[in-house]
């Protein structure tokens, strides 16, 4: 997975050493990830009550609405909930449900492509008071869309889903300050079987001070790479969705297979987003964890890496850096894996 930076601004993080601590998704422990020390997580798993939402169309699956913020508040990562919408054009119910109304728990809204959804469904809603808005780049991501399609094919679902994915970079003014923001989403069209149903998937954004987005690259890369789903949560969520949707599952192995596919799909998706977004200006490397003897993927933007038994990581460019001298016990150096034919 590649991101786009060579140095990190000293106003955000120490240029010599960055300590990443492991945190769990706050509400249900659905996953863990690494974040820089001092940064804070808020929000988490969101569940929609069908009784108050006007219907069940957004109540089957858990949703993620979470933020990660730097200590000075200048840097903000946000994950937006995956919502079902419905486009009733051409449907018998269209005259009774105009755009903006509620249809069985879903917002009636003509289907958008990924780039339009980022503009109308994400940025415009999140920043209604933004001014001097300038979209500096919109990038279609056909390979990402194809990866979603491949997951559907492997799951043998009887619905002809179609996907579109895109990335957008925006500069704007808000609250007397200049900002720069990168936004990503994929749009899933449920096809004829969905009767107009469409969904945004894996929508997130990264916002920071204007002109400094690229300075965050290697830090964001470590955070996104580090996401690990909790298999017990995944199993419970799948079972709950099955119960809520009143369908049956064949075997326990099917649940485990879905878990593996979700993890692999997220890894591949993040990799493609970052490759397109930052033009291969920074890569990753494979490290050997001396505590577990396993190979792990980490950033190659620093020269040295240390890990501890809790899964936390420290990166540094200082060849003489010693975590113990910083009061960080339990960390051991994690070397780059030797490559064949070495």
pLDDT tens readout for residues 123-144: 999 999 999 999 999 999 999 9
Q: Which domain holds residue 307?
A: 284-333
- Which of 232, 257, 278 finishes a domain? 278
Percentage above 90 pLDDT, the chain: 54
Measured CA to CA in angstroms, residue 8 lies from 12, 252, 293, 333 at distances of 7, 45, 30, 22
User: Which range scores top for mean pLDDT: 17-21, 168-172, 229-233?
Assistant: 168-172
The segment with the largest mean pLDDT, out of 65-79, 141-155, 229-243, is: 65-79
State whether 292 and 146 are in the same domain. Answer: no
Looking at residue 255, what is its pLDDT?
44
Look over the chain and give the mean of its residue pLDDT values, rounded to a whole number. 84
| CB crowding 134-169: b at 16 or more within 10 Å, else e | eeeebbebeebbebbeebeeeeeeeeebebbbbbbb
pTM: 0.75
175 contact partners, CB below 8 Å, separation of at least 6: 129
Residue 11 lies in a domain: no
- Per the domain annotation, does 26 fall within a domain? no
pLDDT at 154: 81
pLDDT band at residue 53 under the 50/70/90 scheme: confident
Q: Is 158 left (phi over 0), alpha (psi -120 to 50) or beta?
A: alpha
Nearest-angstrom CA–CA distance, 311 and 160: 40
For the chain, how are helix, strand and coil distributed in percent, rounded to 5? Answer: 30, 35, 40
Assess whether pLDDT exceeds 90 at residue 87: yes
Q: Are 316 and 21 in contact (CB under 8 A)?
A: no
Instruction: Answer yes or no: do 50 and 187 share one domain.
Output: yes
The verdict on 243 and 318 lying in the same domain is: no
Is a pLDDT exceeding 60 seen at residue 4?
no
Query: Dihedral sign, CA of 111, 114, 116, 122?
Result: positive
Domain membership of residue 85 (yes or no) is yes
Residue 275: which pLDDT band, with cuts at 50, 70 and 90?
A: very low
Q: Are residues 197 and 291 in the same domain?
A: no
Angle at 62 between CA 56 and CA 68, to 5 degrees: 135
Q: Give the span between the Cα atoms of 337 and 335, in whole angstroms.
A: 6
3-class secondary-structure state, position 115: helix
pLDDT-based confidence at 179, cuts 50/70/90?
Answer: very high
**How high is the pLDDT of residue 270?**
65
The mean pLDDT value for 7-12 works out to 30
pLDDT band at 74 (very low <50, low <70, confident <90, very high): very high
């Amino acid at each position: 997975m590649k991101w786009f930076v060579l140095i990190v601004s000293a106003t955000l993080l120490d240029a010599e050493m960055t300590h990443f601590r492991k945190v769990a998704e706050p509400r249900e422990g659905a996953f863990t990830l690494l974040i820089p020390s001092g940064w804070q997580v808020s929000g988490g798993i969101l569940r929609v009550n069908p009784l108050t939402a006007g219907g069940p169309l957004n109540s089957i699956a858990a949703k993620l609405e979470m933020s990660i913020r730097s200590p000075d508040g200048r840097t903000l990562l946000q994950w937006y909930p995956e919502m079902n919408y419905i486009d009733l054009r051409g449907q018998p119910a269209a005259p009774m449900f105009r755009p903006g109304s509620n249809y069985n728990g879903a917002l009636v809204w003509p289907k958008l492509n990924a780039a339009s959804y980022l503009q109308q469904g994400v940025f415009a809603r999140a920043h209604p008071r933004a001014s001097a808005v300038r979209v500096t780049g919109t990038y279609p991501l056909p390979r990402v869309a194809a990866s979603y399609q491949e997951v559907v094919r492997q799951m043998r679902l009887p619905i002809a889903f179609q996907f579109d994915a895109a990335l957008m970079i925006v500069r704007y003014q808000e609250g007397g300050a200049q900002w720069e923001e990168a936004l990503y989403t994929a749009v899933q069209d449920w096809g004829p079987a969905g009767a107009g149903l469409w969904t945004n998937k894996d929508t997130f954004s990264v916002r920071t001070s204007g002109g400094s987005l690229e300075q965050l690259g290697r830090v964001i890369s470590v955070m996104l790479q580090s996401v690990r789903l909790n298999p017990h949560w995944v199993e419970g969520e799948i079972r709950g969705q099955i119960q809520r949707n009143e369908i049956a599952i064949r075997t326990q192995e099917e649940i485990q297979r879905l878990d593996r596919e979700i993890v692999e799909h997220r890894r591949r998706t993040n990799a493609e987003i970052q490759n397109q977004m930052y033009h291969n200006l920074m890569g990753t490397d494979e490290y050997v964890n001396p505590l577990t003897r396993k190979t792990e993927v980490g950033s190659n933007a620093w020269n040295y890496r240390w890990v501890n038994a809790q899964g936390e990581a420290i990166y540094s460019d200082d060849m003489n850096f010693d975590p113990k001298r910083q009061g960080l016990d339990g960390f051991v150096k994690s070397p780059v894996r030797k490559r064949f034919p070495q």
